[in-house]
Each structure stands twice: as structure tokens, then as C-alpha cells.
């Protein structure tokens, strides 16, 4: 890794970043469409922490690797802005603002309002509810001998979990509408990977209508049942009452659904990758089953138990987030001219901040393509090296729901492997990724439910001569 060099003096003398080789007309669009994560790693290794790519007729500067990550954690507010990239999402929401698209003081203030509702601690005392939701879904939707398409099953699970935790209601029948709405906005208006015409198709209009219908319904249902408060909606309503210019009523419908916007595909894709990685590594599977059987036999885990006594579950999750990152890069615009690692960045230009490149560098993670769940334990603690680990992003826009996501995923995956005996289907299946708009396992990825582990444990106990 190079020493971090950022400066705002003598800018004009600095050369532009190198434009990497690209094909006529399409530029680097094919590499980006196939696997942007792998593409950024290869380019970082060849060209260093700053280079330019071309997608169709547009040129982008990419800042990559630990240098970019350290820069992002330390200097985001001085040099980077999110607004331009996300503005189209704000427009589609018909909102005055959205957290991802705010910067500076206004971002800080809005984040402050939403903080409690998204925090890890919002789940304290509610682990039993998460287990009940998970167990119900495993009973209803994961029958014995069935082949389960994992990504779809995880979408269903996380929709139920987030719905009950943040809004007191299941959003089950709306899950496809939420995904169609968000995915279309991301594909067409944010990442420009699909033609603009797709915003006029009837399926999009219907999904958008139903998305806002759900938001309205969540708010009405909430106000009709004041005995069941949730931190997120309480805090949003209080902020709107205190300052309707800052938080107009019309923003609330979209904001109450923000856990789905930010949490649905991210958690679903990560947990689907978790299932794959664990089933691909029988040694990890055996250790995980031993751990969850032992810890759950002693009762519902607490926040302390999860952190302190479940190193296998935690290590497997951390390693999944490293090897299967759902965000390989964050988009930003430069707020001013500056020099990064000797090269010039221009005010206003769009930047790819390739945050996940570090996850695959052998100087941080020896044997980086090996799923090794012990990397996170001291004294190794490989993720703690500066700039090495960024699955939840970096800087002021770091995932607000990271703590909640971590707990939900540990509880959900713990329960899944505690309850069910699963195998990959076919057993030699090798994971393929879909990349647009959020990288994750392909929809065809399936597992077979061989049986219920707890029944097997009970039956063995009953039939045992001892
Ligand atoms: C595996 C799970 C998740 C991953 C890997 C993840 C990752 C990320 C990343 C990389 C960002 C930063 C985007 C950027 O810098 O432009 C982000 C932002 C955000 N995430 Fe997550 N996320 C996850 C789950 C969740 C969940 C479950 C929630 C809510 C319940 C959530 C809420 C948010 C919010 C509100 C932001 C915007 C923060 C801001 O702009 O200040 N995320 N997430």
C-alpha cells in the first residue's frame, strides 16, 4: 500500500489519472457488467489506486484499494458528495430529501433522527420475536425434501424480519413491488445500466403505486395502534411534528420504508452467500452446528452472547461480507479539485470509490480467496488493518443499519443452521453471481432440505438406550 497523499496545492502540475485500455464504443462496459468487483481488483493491481475507466461514452475516475478507503474514512466531508448520484432516487420518491442523497449538516441531522430506529440496540429484547418469525418461515416455506431457491427465500425472510421490527407489520405481499420499484430506479436512473424507457413500463408504474400504498398503510396502521411504538417511526413522526419544513409529511411515506430500500437485497444477498459458503465448507458447517446447538440450548442469546460466545457464526458472517460484498464500490462526486496519490481529480467529476478491492489483497488477507473464518479473531484480526475492510461502506454515509443487519443475519443464519439439515443442490454446485444492481448469488442457486435437525436430535435422544 502507498502512503496516503491528498493535497489541494499545485494541482495543475499533477497529471490526469491514466485511462485504462478499453474497447471502441462500449469502453469497459462489458467488464463492468460481468463482474465489477473482479475488474476493479485487477485494475488496482495493474494501475494502482487511481485510474480512469470508460463506460460507453462516459469517463469515470476510480479510486481504489486501501488508499481510497482511508481517504474515504478521513476526508469524505471535505472532498466527496453523494447528492448528484442519488438525486434521481429523491425525485422518484417525490421527496424533499433522502438520507443517501444528503450531505453535510442536513445529512448529519437526518441521520441523527433515524439513528435509534436503525441501531443494533433497536433489537435488544426482541431476539425471541426474530426467532419466532424465522421459525415460522422455516416451517411454512422450507418443507422437508424441498429444493429452495435461496435468494428468493432470503428476500422473504428479511422482509418479514424488517417489517415486524421497524414497522410492526409484515410487508409480505408487497415484497416483489418493493424490489421492482427499487431495482428499476437503481438500474435505469442511478447506474444507467438499462434504458430510460423502462421507467414507463406498466410493471414499474404498478410497483411504484403499490410501494407508496404500503408506506401509507404502514403510517395509518401505526397511528391507529399507538400501543405498539417502533423507534424509527416514532422518531420520524416527532421530527416531522417539530419541523415540518425539514421533515414534511410527504417525505414520511418513503422514509418509513427505508429499511426495505437499504436492507432487503443487501441482507438477502449476503445471507444467501452465507448459506453457500457454509455448505461448501463442511468443517465450518460442523463447527457452526455445534455452536448454535450449544448456545441455543441455553436459551435465547443476548447481545453479549452473540458477540462473545459465537465466534464461528460471527466469523462466518464477517468472512461472507468480505468475500461476497454487496457493494463493491460507492459512487460520489468530487466537491473540489484535489490531488490523490499524485493524480488530479476535478471538481464535480463522478467517482467510483472501489471500497471492496482491499478485501482481496493478499497483503491484508493471506490467501484472500480462501473462506477462513478465523481471520477475525485476535491476534490475527486482519480486518482491523487501516483500509482493509469496508463491507458497510466508509465515511459519513457508512451503513446506518450495519449493527441491526449484523444481528438480524446472525440470528437468522443461526436459526437456519440450528433447525435444518441442508445440502447444496446439486451437491457440487458452484456459485454464480448476478451483478445488477446489487451483486449476489444468482436466482437459480438452490439448496435441498434434507430434514429437521432438532427432530433428529430429539428422536435420537428418545430412541437412545441411555
Ligand atoms: C448485509 C447487509 C448490509 C450491507 C452490506 C449494507 C451496506 C451498505 C453500504 C455499503 C452503504 C453505504 C452506501 C454509500 O456509501 O453510498 C449503506 C448505507 C445505508 N444502509 Fe446498509 N447495508 C446492509 C443492510 C442494511 C439494513 C438492514 C439497513 C436498515 C435496516 C440499512 C440501512 C442503510 C442506510 C439507511 C444507509 C444510508 C446511510 C447514509 O447515507 O447515511 N442497511 N449500507
- Looking at ligand 1, which residue's alpha carbon is closest to its atom 6? 392
Ligand 1 atom at minimum distance from 111 CA: 41
φ, ψ for residue 145, nearest 5 deg: 70, 5
Which pLDDT value is given to residue 229?
Answer: 77
**Confidence band of 458 (pLDDT split at 50, 70, 90):** very low
Is residue 448 in some structural domain? yes
% of the chain exceeding 70 in pLDDT: 97
Ligand 1 centroid to residue 426 C-alpha, Å? 33
Spatial distance between the Cα atoms of 236 and 306, rounded to a whole number of angstroms: 29
Query: Which residue did the predictor score with more confidence, 314 or 461?
Result: 314
Query: Which residue did the predictor score with more confidence, 40 or 231?
Result: 40
Which pLDDT value is given to residue 191?
Answer: 83
Spatial distance between the Cα atoms of 176 and 194, rounded to a whole number of angstroms: 19
Is residue 1 in some structural domain? no
- Per-residue pLDDT tens for 126-138? 999 999 999 999 9
Residue 170 predicted with pLDDT over 90: no
Q: Alpha-carbon dihedral of residues 407, 399, 267, 70, nearest 10 degrees?
A: -100
Residue 56 predicted with pLDDT over 90: no
Greatest mean pLDDT among 1-5, 68-72, 450-454:
68-72
Which pLDDT value is given to residue 465?
Answer: 37
Check if the beta carbon of residue 233 is closer than 8 Å to that of residue 219.
yes
Structural domain containing residue 48: 6-463
Q: What is the mean pLDDT of residues 204-218?
A: 93
Residue 71 predicted with pLDDT over 60: yes
Interstrand relation of 420-425 and 446-452 (parallel, antiparallel or unpaired): antiparallel
Ligand 1 atom at minimum distance from 390 CA: 10
Ligand 1 centroid to residue 402 C-alpha, Å? 6
- Looking at ligand 1, which residue's alpha carbon is closest to its atom 30? 259
Q: Is 318 exposed, middle or buried (0-12, 13-18, 19+ CB in 10 A)?
A: buried
Q: What is the mean pLDDT of residues 25-48?
A: 93
Which pLDDT value is given to residue 155?
Answer: 92
**Confidence band of 254 (pLDDT split at 50, 70, 90):** confident
CATH of the domain at 195: 1.10.630.10
Residues sharing a CB contact under 8 Å with residue 116, sequence separation 6 or more, in sequence order: 122, 231, 232, 235
Residue 461 predicted with pLDDT over 50: no
Ligand 1 atom at minimum distance from 102 CA: 40
Q: What is the mean pLDDT of residues 49-66?
A: 95
Ligand 1 centroid to residue 139 C-alpha, Å? 29
Ligand 1 atom at minimum distance from 321 CA: 5
Spatial distance between the Cα atoms of 148 and 55, rounded to a whole number of angstroms: 37
Which pLDDT value is given to residue 463?
Answer: 38
Ligand 1 centroid to residue 333 C-alpha, Å? 19
Which pLDDT value is given to residue 459?
Answer: 47
Which pLDDT value is given to residue 22?
Answer: 92
- Looking at ligand 1, which residue's alpha carbon is closest to its atom 3? 266
Is residue 157 in some structural domain? yes
Ligand 1 centroid to residue 391 C-alpha, Å? 9
- Per-residue pLDDT tens for 423-442? 999 999 999 998 866 789 99
Which pLDDT value is given to residue 307?
Answer: 86
**Confidence band of 455 (pLDDT split at 50, 70, 90):** low
Residue 331 predicted with pLDDT over 60: yes
Is residue 217 in some structural domain? yes
| Ligand 1, residues at Cβ distance < 6 Å | 99-100, 111, 118, 162, 258-259, 262-263, 266-267, 270, 326-327, 330, 391-393, 397, 399-401, 404-405
Angle between helices 258-280 and 282-297 (to 10 degrees): 120
- Looking at ligand 1, which residue's alpha carbon is closest to its atom 17? 399
Residue 460 predicted with pLDDT over 80: no
The preferred substitution site among 233, 267, 399, 408 for testing ligand 1, maximizing ligand atoms within 8 Å of CB, is 399
Is residue 89 in some structural domain? yes
Least confident of 69-73, 169-173, 212-216: 169-173
Which pTM was predicted? 0.94
- Per-residue pLDDT tens for 277-316? 999 999 999 999 999 999 999 999 999 999 899 999 999 9
Count of domains forming the chain: 1
Amino acid at each position: 500500500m502507498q502512503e496516503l497523499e491528498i493535497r489541494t496545492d499545485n494541482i495543475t502540475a499533477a497529471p490526469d489519472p491514466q485511462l485504462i485500455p478499453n474497447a471502441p464504443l462500449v469502453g469497459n462496459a462489458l467488464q463492468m457488467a460481468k463482474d465489477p468487483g473482479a475488474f476493479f481488483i485487477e485494475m488496482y493491481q495493474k494501475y494502482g489506486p487511481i485510474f480512469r475507466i470508460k463506460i460507453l461514452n462516459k469517463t469515470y475516475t476510480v479510486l481504489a484499494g486501501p488508499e481510497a478507503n482511508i481517504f474515504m474514512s478521513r476526508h469524505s466531508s471535505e472532498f466527496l458528495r453523494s447528492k448528484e448520484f442519488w438525486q434521481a432516487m429523491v425525485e422518484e420518491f417525490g421527496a424533499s430529501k433522502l438520507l443517501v442523497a444528503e450531505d453535510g449538516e442536513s445529512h448529519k441531522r437526518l441521520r441523527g433522527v433515524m439513528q435509534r430506529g436503525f441501531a443494533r440496540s433497536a433489537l435488544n429484547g426482541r431476539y425471541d420475536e426474530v426467532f419466532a418469525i424465522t421459525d415460522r418461515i422455516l416451517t411454512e416455506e422450507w418443507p422437508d425434501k424441498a429444493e429452495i431457491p435461496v435468494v428468493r427465500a432470503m428476500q422473504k425472510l428479511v422482509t418479514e424480519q424488517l417489517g415486524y421490527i421497524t414497522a410492526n407489520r409484515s410487508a409480505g405481499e408487497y415484497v416483489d413491488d418493493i424490489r421492482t420499484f427499487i431495482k428499476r430506479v437503481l438500474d435505469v436512473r442511478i447506474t444507467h445500466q438499462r434504458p430510460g424507457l423502462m421507467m414507463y413500463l406498466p410493471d414499474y408504474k404498478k410497483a411504484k403505486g403499490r410501494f407508496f400504498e404500503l408506506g401509507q398503510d404502514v403510517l395509518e396502521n401505526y397511528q391507529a395502534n399507538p400501543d405498539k411504538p417502533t423507534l424509527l417511526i416514532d422518531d420520524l413522526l416527532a421530527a416531522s411534528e417539530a419541523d415540518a419544513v425539514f421533515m414534511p409529511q410527504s417525505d414520511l411515506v418513503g422514509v418509513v420504508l427505508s429499511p426495505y430500500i437499504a436492507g432487503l437485497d443487501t441482507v438477502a444477498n449476503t445471507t444467501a452467500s452465507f448459506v453457500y459458503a457454509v455448505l461448501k465448507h463442511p468443517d465450518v458447517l460442523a463447527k457452526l452446528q455445534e455452536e448454535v446447538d450449544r448456545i441455543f440450548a441455553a436459551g435465547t442469546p443476548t447481545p453479549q452472547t452473540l458477540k462473545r460466545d459465537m465466534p464461528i457464526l460471527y466469523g462466518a458472517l464477517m468472512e461472507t461480507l468480505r468475500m461476497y460484498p454487496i457493494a463493491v464500490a460507492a459512487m460520489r462526486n468530487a466537491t473540489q479539485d484535489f490531488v490523490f496519490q499524485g493524480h488530479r481529480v476535478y471538481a464535480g467529476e463522478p467517482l467510483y470509490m472501489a471500497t471492496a478491492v482491499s478485501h482481496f489483497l493478499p497483503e491484508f488477507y493471506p490467501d484472500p480467496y480462501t473462506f477462513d473464518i478465523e481471520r477475525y479473531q485476535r491476534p490475527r484480526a486482519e480486518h482491523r488493518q487501516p483500509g482493509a475492510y469496508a463491507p458497510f461502506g466508509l465515511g459519513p454515509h457508512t451503513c446506518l443499519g450495519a449493527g441491526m443487519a449484523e444481528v438480524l443475519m446472525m440470528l437468522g443464519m443461526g436459526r437456519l443452521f440450528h433447525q435444518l439439515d441442508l445440502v447444496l443442490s446439486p451437491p457440487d454446485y458452484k456459485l454464480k453471481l448476478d451483478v445488477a444492481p446489487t451483486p449476489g448469488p444468482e436466482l437459480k442457486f438452490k439448496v435441498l432440505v434434507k430434514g429437521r435437525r432438532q427432530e433428529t436430535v430429539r428422536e435420537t435422544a428418545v430412541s437412545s438406550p441411555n
